[in-house]
Amino acid sequence: MKWLGMPWLQKLGHWRKMSQQVLSINQRNLEFIYRYNPRKFYKTADDKRLTKQLLAAQGVPVPPSYFVIESFHQTQQVGQMLADLDDFVIKPAQGSGGGGIVVITRRDEHGWYSPSGSLWTVLDIQRHVADIVFGTHSFDLGDFAIFEQRLRPAPLLHKLSPWGLADLRVIVLDHKPVMAMCRLPTKSSG
């Protein structure tokens, strides 16, 4: 059997060699993140709201936050807060791995729509925000929901991943870049 013009077994051997050169997320965390970063900084790094404030103070561009929901009581005001917004992103302040992030790309008389075309009503958004505030997507009980500006992909990255915003990450060790990765959203991830 041939796959992309190569015998299947040759291709398998090629991927085995490559897998020895690729750093997995668990490997990255154990061998780089946990080893070289003092634990006292984790709380700051795990809080998107605080991290955005620190980066902005250093002149690093960050997407503007429209508002933050910090309590269940505030979820009732979401409809009013979204009255003038056609597109936005909702993120748990302490979320991990993209869990709980909702991207809204457009709006019509029925509500807001995600890139996959799913309809989000005010009630849907209120429920999702309540889950975030409860801590469903975070490391700890209790969290904040950040509503921020939706970023548009650069044309080159849009060609690689037309279903969402790809991002480039650079791992720095002792003030030197040692590796990089590109995170590509997929159609199935929504």
Range with the largest mean pLDDT of 8-12, 112-116, 143-147, 153-157: 143-147
Up-side HSE of residue 69: CA atoms within 13 Å toward CB? 29
2 pLDDT band, cuts 50/70/90, is very low
Range with the largest mean pLDDT of 2-16, 92-106, 117-131: 117-131
The string of pLDDT tens digits covering residues 150-181 is: 998 888 888 888 878 888 888 888 888 888 88
Nearest CA among 139, 140, 66 for reference residue 97: 139
The string of pLDDT tens digits covering residues 36-78 is: 889 998 888 888 999 999 999 999 999 999 999 999 999 999 9
Higher pLDDT, 29 or 14: 29
